[in-house]
Structure 1
Amino acid sequence: MPRVAFVTGGTRGIGRAIVERLKADGMQVAAGYSGNDAAAQACAEELGVLVVKGNVGSFADCQQAVEKVTEALGPIDVLVNNAGITRDGVFHRMTSEQWSDVIRVNMDSLFNMTRQVIEGMREREWGRIVNISSINGQKGQIGQTNYSAAKAGMIGFTKALALENARKGVTVNCIAPGYIDTDMVASVPEQVLKGIIAQIPVGRLGTGEEIADMVAFLAGERAGYVTGSTLSLNGGQFMA
């Protein structure tokens, strides 16, 4: 039986590249999304995958999403926690809403989603959890105290959960991408983008497909000895 994978934030950008790659590898894949119905419909039609709407910041929404995926495809074997948002601003002007929105979607979502699937993975003695963090969770970034805190917290979450579940055949790993060629990065002013690229030793942005390649390995049958790791894919911009 093919493995079943669920990718949050899976209908656009990095998430969609991950969905496409896991499906190409023979998995049954569902893509979660929160708001862009047009992108979700395009993803479903073009890739032939199940799409499920819900807010990863809500425990109830995550529970319902997992129930829908399980009913349609079977128990989830691979969870990719990819959904995330930014609400940038320097800390001394940051509102409580900017802080709480980012922590809820980027950090609380790890509990909300992973709690739904971890018991089943332990019972079946096989599971793969891949968390998509960020270079800014490793090095920090001006204007992103909220985002950097959430993404750094993801790394700690990964390590602790990996220790708890290693003997049950469940691996938990983290990927920390640098600047990737997505719509969000493409919206940055040209001069700012040139400055960013100048700081990347390989001299270019990364691609969603490069992130997807690493996720595919970590989600695969041969990655059972890799757990608790944070893998940096940033073109040499930050070497932890």
Structure 2
Amino acid sequence: MTDNAPLAVVTGGTRGIGLALSARLRRLGYRTVALYRSDKDAAQEAADRHGLTVVRADLADSSSVHAAARQILAEHGPPEVLVNNAGINIDRPFLELTEDDWRQVIDTNLSGPFHLTQAFAPAMLDAGGGTIVNVGATTGIRPRLNGVNYAASKAGLLQLTKCLALELAPTVRVNCLIPGMTETQELVERFRLDDPERRAAVLTEIPQDRIGTTDDIADALEYLVGPLSRYVTGQKLIVDGGQFMW
């Protein structure tokens, strides 16, 4: 791949859905920088396997975010694609939620994309355009028990998407990609989907009768960053097999 190939940046881009998004962008011809927070060895292994460049950044720390952005701009130039994918869950009943539980999730899932987008947007505008995809969650639209911090962060991300689509138009398009149940190790462990009865119960709620794959989400990303979506901005694309139909 040549040095003048377009650049893509993906946060949380070395594991789970984020790795699938990084790998897809690489196959589409992008020089791809994947941001990770911890486990440098695992991040580097993923990078070597898929031809990625990895940069460490703690999305909950604005100084770390801006330092990573400065490094990327200096070494690679402005991104044509920015994917704000990184996110964390700290689930507890509302009355047991600590201030730290609240801040960690909000700072990572909402403030992180705010700071990173603000760091890259001027260069993207100066370069003549680009596409930003924020990876949301169904709980940003429909609430659930024991996840007020996560749901609030993802609802905020959806509104951030719309505001950025207004303010960065027409040069930069901004959309929100919302995965449904997607087969990752984290999801399997969290919902105990290795139990056939638990999996069968979940499938009764999904008209397509299967858990989504990371390739399903990467297909949606490919659409949102490609020319077929050139007139699409400020929108949410829900990829959930029909589970919610909002």
TM-score bin (small chain): over 0.9
Task: Show the counterpart of 2:66.
Answer: 63
1:222 to partner: Cα distance: 4.1
Q: Which runs of 5+ in 1 are unaligned?
A: none
Q: Is the 8 A contact 1:135 1:176 kept in 2?
A: yes
Q: Is the 8 A contact 2:7 2:81 kept in 1?
A: yes
- Distance in 1, matches of 2:5 and 2:168, equals 22
Task: Show the counterpart of 1:180.
Answer: 182
Asked whether 1:197 is paired with 2:197, we answer no
How many residue pairs get aligned? The number is 239
Task: Show the counterpart of 1:108.
Answer: 111
Provide Cα deviations, 1:145-192, integer angstroms capped at 9, x if missing partner. 11111111111111111011112x200000111111011111132244
Residue 93 of structure 1, aligned match among 88, 93, 96:
96
Aligned-partner residue type, residue 80 of structure 1: V
Q: Is the 8 A contact 1:174 1:229 kept in 2?
A: yes
Deviating beyond 6 angstroms after TM superposition, the runs of 4 or more aligned structure 1 residues are none
Partner of 1:101, secondary structure, is helix
- Distance in 2, matches of 1:36 and 1:237, equals 34
Task: Show the counterpart of 2:230.
Answer: 224
1:109 to partner: Cα distance: 0.7
Q: Is the 8 A contact 2:57 2:68 kept in 1?
A: yes
The verdict on how the C-alpha distance between 1:207 and 1:224 changes in structure 2, with shifts beyond 3 A counting, is: same
- Distance in 2, matches of 1:68 and 1:221, equals 29
Percent identity between the two aligned chains: 37
Q: Which runs of 5+ in 2 are unaligned?
A: none
Q: Is the 8 A contact 1:58 1:112 kept in 2?
A: no
Aligned-partner residue type, residue 9 of structure 1: G
Superposition TM-score, scaled by structure 1 size: 0.95
Residue 133 of structure 1, aligned match among 136, 152, 156:
136
Provide Cα deviations, 1:116-147, integer angstroms capped at 9, x if missing partner. 11111122221110000011111111111111
Aligned-partner residue type, residue 70 of structure 1: L
- Distance in 1, matches of 2:70 and 2:93, equals 39
Task: Show the counterpart of 1:171.
Answer: 173
The verdict on how the C-alpha distance between 1:193 and 1:141 changes in structure 2, with shifts beyond 3 A counting, is: farther
1:64 to partner: Cα distance: 1.6
